[in-house]
Amino acid sequence: MYVKKIRSFIVLATSDSFRDAAEKLNITQPTLTKQIQLLEGIFGFQLFLRDNHGCYLTDEGKIIYKYALNLTDELDKLLCVVKKIKTGRTGVLNIGHTFSFINVLPEMINKFTEHHPMIKIKIHELASVEQEKRLLSGELDIAFMEKPMNKQIKYEEIGTDHLLIISNLKNNFQINNLNDINQILDKNTLCLPNCDSHFDLFQKISKFLSRNSLNFPHLCYTNNIYNTISIANLYSNVAILPNSLVHNIKSTIKCAKLMGKGSKWKIGMSWNEARASTDALTFIDEIKKNR
């Protein structure tokens, strides 16, 4: 009821005259005068003084002006929230990811939430197969994973990930072929994250070793990635991990890119278009634009 009158009051308080304020508000001067008089009648005191040089806030008007500014700021925020709700720009997004996205996903989400603070993000680290199931059931809105098998799921390729062999061996090592890998594994203990702590990664590395008929007579398991890297830092130990998990770790550790079947894989963003919400489609569009 009072919103229009209060906005007129604020414009007049920062203008030189009633005529100047009326032009800014795109209303007639008599209409503005009536609005201010009605507001003064509601409050029970005068808000402005007028003379030949213009109009000025009374002492009471100056106090009201400060509160009016806060009120209109809060009102603008309220209207912004109302607009977001009406257009579907508020809610919760469930986003899944594999280990390949552990370093790049936070930046993507941060950029999105800067422009859409009303949308809450819930992150789930899951194997690609599990993400595919949850996209189909609607439990996930967006998945960052390997290419899905189900044609119902849309897929946008983002990049690749690949396996590295890492160690702190005194002598530099080079990987030119699978025989080089076998020689390193034969002479050193291979450290891997165990199945319970990181099933998806364990499966990826195990398939790589099996598909390329690589021998690893000395083997030890760790309960997390950081332990795997730490143990690989010891002399006569090596580890196989994806580039996405080790490329930004500051260490004296040496890395060499592996080759062979399953040593490299494509990764991207997936979604179920049949179930995609407005929020999800907005997120997807912005990721595509920022690539």
SS3 sequence, the chain? CCHHHHHHHHHHHCCCCHHHHHHHHCCCHHHHHHHHHHHHHHHCCCCEEEECCEEEECHHHHHHHHHHHHHHHHHHHHHHHHHHHHCCCCEEEEEEECHHHCCCHHHHHHHHHHHCCCEEEEEEECCHHHHHHHHHHCCCCEEEECCCCCCCEEEEEEEEEEEEEEECCCCCCCCCCHHHHHHHHHHCEEEEECCCCCHHHHHHHHHHHHHCCCCCCCEEEECCHHHHHHHHCCCCEEEEEEHHHHCCCCCCCEEEECCCCCCEEEEEEEEECCCCCHHHHHHHHHHHHHC
Q: Reply yes or no on whether the pLDDT at 250 is more than 60.
A: no
What is the model's pLDDT at position 157?
94
* Domain end (from 35, 61, 86): 86
| Percent of the chain clearing pLDDT 90 (strictly above) | 43
* Domain end (from 36, 71, 86): 86
What is the model's pLDDT at position 84?
63
What is the model's pLDDT at position 133?
95
For residues 226 and 195, membership in a common domain is answered with yes
Mean pLDDT confidence for 92-118: 89
* Domain end (from 86, 115, 133): 86
Residue pLDDT, tens place only, 15-25: 888 888 889 88
For residues 142 and 215, membership in a common domain is answered with no
The CATH number assigned to the domain holding 226 equals: 3.40.190.290
Mean pLDDT confidence for 2-8: 84
**Stretch among 124-133, 165-174, 200-209 having the lowest mean pLDDT:** 165-174
Mean pLDDT confidence for 136-161: 94
Residue pLDDT, tens place only, 82-99: 776 666 555 789 999 999
- Residue numbers of the domain that contains 69: 3-86
Q: Looking at the 3D structure of the chain, how many domains does it have?
A: 3
What is the model's pLDDT at position 236?
81
Mean pLDDT confidence for 209-217: 93
